[in-house]
Amino acid sequence: MIDTFGRIHTDLRISVTDRCNIRCFYCMPNENIRFRPREELLTFEEIERFVRVAAGLGVTKLRLTGGEPLVRRDLPRLVAKLAAVPGIDDIALTTNGILLAEQAAELRAAGLKRLNISLDALDDELFRQIARRDGLDRVLAGIAEARRVGFDKIKLNAVAIRGLTESQVVPLGRFARERGLELRFIEYMPLDAEGRWSDEQVLSGETVLRLLTEEFGALEPIEPSHAGQPASDFRFVDGGGTVGFINPVTEPFCEACNRLRLTAEGQVRNCLFSLEEWDARALLRGAAGDEQLAALLRDCVRAKRAGHGINAADFQRPQRAMFQIGG
């Protein structure tokens, strides 16, 4: 699936729910949320069929996300189904970690290869301020259990917010270094549900890198391991591991983007910031054959724009917030 800019799409992000057990202010509203009725969500069988078609068109990597994917009942069953699809060689999961302690072993046994756990703050009060719910202890327990059951290369994702999370940069750096976890800082993007984002709240990767350098000494850049990798990775020169920066606002990486997204209710998007969607659910629930699904995917890829345009004067936010897309 090559778009008009020559980008080859091998990576599919699948949202399995728009529900979540916390309410991060940069993603979800705090109250009065209208979740999709359950019957609108794709079933595991529908997701599997979609993935078979996508794999036939060159998709090799999957990431399950949401909302919070671990609130979707029976998720390991989906992982096992997707792991058996010919052509899929990597399945990853992004989770807030709250339910991970209970599910880590089963997910691993089902064929999950990689885990990204979101953790923006190690301070209890700040965690609560961001997530608008309790949960830090459970996230920490989830991380410990994931390591115990043998997940390696666990990544920790931290959204960096100016005026709020500067104090967490060094503690998170230390936490990750001590445990051999790959820490990645993500710039805050205009996908909050309440429409309050402003570029003044973006704590840039460059600033975070400076804070880490001041505490831990020099970091040196690492060559990207594959094209399409959004993170710029650095190595602590003292041997303390690596840290990555995903800088969609200050250093957009759209020219290397190889991703497509499937929302929980079966809409295909070619960008987080896409203003258009392609209705795969209508095909999956109608009489359409696999060729029609493949044609829909090709149409979606063909329509992909050069970039998200966050920094352009005429930038238009998508209607959906992050939890309704799948990060």
How many angstroms separate the CA atoms of 302 and 300, rounded?
5
Q: State the DSSP code for 246.
A: E
Is residue 176 at the binding interface for ligand SAM, with CB under 6 A as the rule? no
Tell the smallest beta-carbon distance from residue 86 to ligand SF4 (Å).
Answer: 31
The encoded tokens of residue 126 equal 């700040």
Question: The tokens 């080859």 sit on which residue?
Answer: 8
Binds ligand SAM by CB under 6 A, chosen from 127, 151, 188, 216: 188
> Quick one: 66 or 248, whose CB is closer to ligand SF4?
66
Q: Tell me, residue by residue from 108 to 127, as one string, x for binding to ligand SF4 by CB under 6 A and - for no binding.
A: ----------x---------
Are the beta carbons of 282 and 35 closer than 8 angstroms?
Answer: no
Identify which range of 5-13, 38-46, 62-70, 215-223 contacts ligand SAM by CB under 6 A: 62-70
**Which residue(s) pair with 228 in the sheet?**
none
Q: Which stretch binds ligand SF4 (CB under 6 A): 64-72, 147-155, 166-174, 251-259?
A: 64-72
Q: How far apart are CA 110 and CA 280, in angstroms?
A: 26
- The site partner of 28 among ligand SF4, ligand SAM, none (C-beta below 5 to 8 Å per kind) is ligand SF4
CB atoms near residue 112 (< 10 Å): 24
Distance CA 55, CA 311 (A): 33
Which of the listed partners (ligand SF4, ligand SAM, none) does 258 bind, with a CB threshold of 5 to 8 Å by partner kind? none
Q: Which of 11, 68, 233, 265 is the binder for ligand SAM (CB under 6 A)?
A: 68
164 binds ligand SF4 (CB under 6 A): no
- Rounded to a whole number of angstroms, the minimum distance from the CB of residue 68 to ligand SAM is 4
CB of 231 to ligand SAM, least distance (A): 12
Residue 66 touches ligand SF4, criterion: CB under 6 A: yes
Q: Using the rule CB under 6 A, is 11 a contact of ligand SAM?
A: no
Secondary structure (DSSP) of 158-217? EEEBTTTSGGGHHHHHHHHHHHT-EEEEEE--S--TTS---GGGB--HHHHHHHHHHHH-
Instruction: Work out whether the CA dihedral 146, 99, 181, 228 comes out positive or negative.
Output: positive
- Asked whether the CA dihedral 306, 309, 315, 318 is positive or negative, the reply is positive
Give the one residue of 23, 114, 162, 174 binding ligand SF4; rule: CB under 6 A: 23
In the bound state with ligand SF4, the residue whose beta carbon lies nearer, of 10 and 157, is: 157
202 within 8 A of 168, measured Cβ to Cβ: no
Q: Which does 14 bind (CB under 5 to 8 A by kind): ligand SAM, ligand SF4, none?
A: none
Does 263 contact ligand SAM by CB under 6 A?
Answer: no
Which stretch of DSSP H or E encloses residue 95? strand 90-95
- Kind and range of the H or E run holding 71: none
On whether the CB atoms of residues 201 and 162 are closer than 8 A, the answer is yes
Q: Which stretch binds ligand SAM (CB under 6 A): 63-71, 198-206, 219-227, 230-238?
A: 63-71
DSSP state, 147? H
To ligand SAM, the closest distance from the beta carbon of 246 in angstroms equals 8
Establish if 133 lies at the interface with ligand SF4 (CB under 6 A).
Answer: no
Residues lying near ligand SF4 in the complex (CB under 6 A) are found at 20, 22-24, 27-28, 66-68, 96, 118, 322-323
